[in-house]
Amino acid sequence: MPKTFYITTPIYYPSAKPHMGHAYSSIIADFFARFKRIDGFDVQFLTGTDEHGLKIQRSAEKQNIEPLEFCNQISKTFRDLSQTLNLTNTDFIRTTEDRHKKTVQHLWKELEKNDDIYLSKYSGWYSVSDEAFYNEDEIEDIDGIKRSISSKSTVEWIEEESYFFRLSKWEKPLLKYYETHPNFIAPESKKNEVISFVKSGLKDLSVSRKSFSWGIKVPSNNDHVIYVWLDALTNYISALNYPNTDDVLFKNFWPASIHLIGKDILRFHAVYWPAFLLAAKIELPLRVYGHGWILSGDEKMSKSKGNILDPIEIIDQYGLDPLRYYLIKEVSFGNDGNISQERLEDCINSDLANNFGNLCQRVTAFAIKNCDGKIPSEIKFQDDDLLILNKFKNNLDNIRSKIDCQNINFYIDYIINSLFEANKYFNDQEPWKKKDDLTRLNTIVYTTLEIVRKISFLLYPIIPESSLKALKIFDIEENKIELHTITNNEYLTKGNNLNKIEILFKKIEKNND
Ligand code: MSP
């Protein structure tokens, strides 16, 4: 049985075109998906678009087109973005698809059957922008406009007949679950917020709307559409063909290994979603990780704030891998991070061009000139060589366990250190002075090439295209990238030809005025 791993991104509202925050969630998910794949896991990676609700209906009305047509257009830009970001998602779900609607209606019936849903009347504050209900104490009044304190979006008062989910009934089971599954919510700081929210008392949740029609109908009452969050969260299992629990996708991949989301939607994923699942007697995902925000000038990037950075523009200017590297390295994972062009350029120049690109160029150029363009055959490792090579072997289990705790910061620091050490090793060993001791010269070259290979394997989840370009030196193809082989110090076939490669990263000329 292969080991399996199921990772999801949030499904994005196609109410406007994608921005850097969306790109961030997707790139991080892709990083984990690729890492797990090269570590031998069978990976299911889901992303998609969340297309129902009043927010989408209003956006479509503004443009005077039918909601579905509106969604078709913008959902496509998200699908295209997945390709532009070089994501390896195995599925792309749209909540307007039949496969999804069927699952949502089935889940609704299950909740109804288990007496977790009842009809009553809702009155309270609602933010269309967040598609969220807020209590009185979660609202502030600024210049006569009522807003959510946490998201700052405006709220409106609604009063209508609504179905309710008995969320209150799940307060204690949820608290018990958090206690017995301490890894369910991450990072730790966010977990405490969720727990105190639940401890402060859960009220039943309005899960249907009657005053608009753009949504999935309540099966037993077509006057109501299902609350967009109950609809949206279900995507994680509709993509696995639930309720067909015998389906190979559901069997292999549920419960999800991790739902990766932004911290603003943690409550939905760590409170509502597990409560729905408990009520429907479905296993809970193993982890929900609420990452930080990409800030632009200290504020969350969002359409309403008009401070959006367009990922496509950055990619056009600098290329995709520099953006992926930058987001993964510079935004300390779990915290907010400010994005700046200046820091992006620094990353390209120092880490990518100087540290990685230069190491690849230097050692191949040297080997082409001094080792007949081949991977050296006559080698004899000394302590210095084994010391640096064995660090990979000695750290592999640690790297794996850090990734299982989503400690991306450790991973990237490990790579940067390894690059630094590799450059230092090559400099200190001075192979250019070893021309009368060819075994020593060959061994230094072989060792450095091995390190380039190992680091390129580790860089593959972060900068896949550049890692593959570097691996062309050895004719190593994507399907040969297997993480466990970084423990092998003589993986490279001696005597094979080495290929010259193009410059991996162009340095950015900086104007220091
Ligand atoms: N449709 C819901 C999610 C449903 S999941 C069952 C939604 N969509 S969204 O398009 O508004 O946001 C999607 C994700 O992008 C969220 O995880 C949100 O946190 C993330 N980001 C939106 N802006 C962001 C930043 N500026 N920075 C980082 N991520 C942020 O919410």
The reported pLDDT for the residue numbered 304 is 59
- Please provide the DSSP assignment of 487-512 as one string: G-TT-SPTTPBPPP---SSPPPP---
The answer as to whether 437 is a domain residue is yes
Give the model confidence (pLDDT) of 129-174 as tens digits.
Answer: 998 999 889 999 988 899 999 889 999 999 999 999 999 999 999 9
The answer as to whether 380 is a domain residue is yes
The answer as to whether 441 is a domain residue is yes
Name which residue sits closest to atom 8 of ligand 1, judged by CA. Answer: 12
Q: How far is the CA of 293 from the centre of ligand 1 (A)?
A: 9
Q: What percent of the chain has pLDDT over 70?
A: 97
Q: Which two tokens stand for residue 173?
A: 């089971």
With bands split at pLDDT 50, 70 and 90, how would you rate the model's confidence at 401? Answer: very high
Q: Which two tokens stand for residue 383?
A: 């302590």
Residue with tokens 């921005």: 19
The answer as to whether 482 is a domain residue is yes
| Number of compact structural domains in the chain | 1
Most informative mutation of 227, 264, 272, 331 for ligand 1 (most atoms within 8 A of CB): 264
Q: Is the model's pTM score more than 0.85?
A: yes
The answer as to whether 128 is a domain residue is no
Q: How far is the CA of 21 from the centre of ligand 1 (A)?
A: 7
Which CATH number fits the domain that encloses residue 385?
1.10.730.10
Per-residue DSSP letter, 154: B
Q: In this model, does residue 512 exceed pLDDT 60?
A: no
Rg (CA), the chain: 26
Q: In this model, does residue 307 exceed pLDDT 70?
A: no
Across 18-27, 271-280, 289-298, 438-447, least confident range: 289-298
Q: Are 295 and 337 in contact (CB under 8 A)?
A: yes
The answer as to whether 376 is a domain residue is yes
Name which residue sits closest to atom 25 of ligand 1, judged by CA. Answer: 21
Name which residue sits closest to atom 20 of ligand 1, judged by CA. Answer: 262
Give the model confidence (pLDDT) of 324-340 as tens digits.
Answer: 999 999 998 999 988 88
Name which residue sits closest to atom 19 of ligand 1, judged by CA. Answer: 262
Alpha-carbon distance 509 to 355, whole Å? 17
Q: Which atom of ligand 1 is nearest to the CA of 19?
A: 23
Q: How far is the CA of 61 from the centre of ligand 1 (A)?
A: 22
Give the model confidence (pLDDT) of 487-500 as tens digits.
Answer: 999 999 999 999 99
Compute CA 481 distance to the chain's CA centroid, rounded to the nearest angstrom: 21
Q: Which atom of ligand 1 is nearest to the CA of 233?
A: 6
Most informative mutation of 19, 50, 216 for ligand 1 (most atoms within 8 A of CB): 50
Q: Which two tokens stand for residue 509?
A: 């000329």
The reported pLDDT for the residue numbered 221 is 97
The reported pLDDT for the residue numbered 215 is 97
Q: Which two tokens stand for residue 90?
A: 């195995």
Name which residue sits closest to atom 6 of ligand 1, judged by CA. Answer: 233
Mean pLDDT of 222-232: 97
Residues having CB within 6 Å of any atom of ligand 1: 10-13, 21-22, 24-25, 50, 232-233, 235, 261-262, 264-265, 293-294, 300-302
Domain that holds residue 368: 341-487
Mean pLDDT of 174-194: 96
The answer as to whether 53 is a domain residue is no
Q: What percent of the chain has pLDDT over 90?
A: 87
Q: Which atom of ligand 1 is nearest to the CA of 269?
A: 6
Across 65-69, 291-295, 411-415, least confident range: 291-295
The reported pLDDT for the residue numbered 67 is 96
With bands split at pLDDT 50, 70 and 90, how would you rate the model's confidence at 15? Answer: confident
Name which residue sits closest to atom 17 of ligand 1, judged by CA. Answer: 262
Q: Are 129 and 264 in contact (CB under 8 A)?
A: no
The answer as to whether 409 is a domain residue is yes
The reported pLDDT for the residue numbered 509 is 87
What mean pLDDT, rounded, does the chain reach?
94
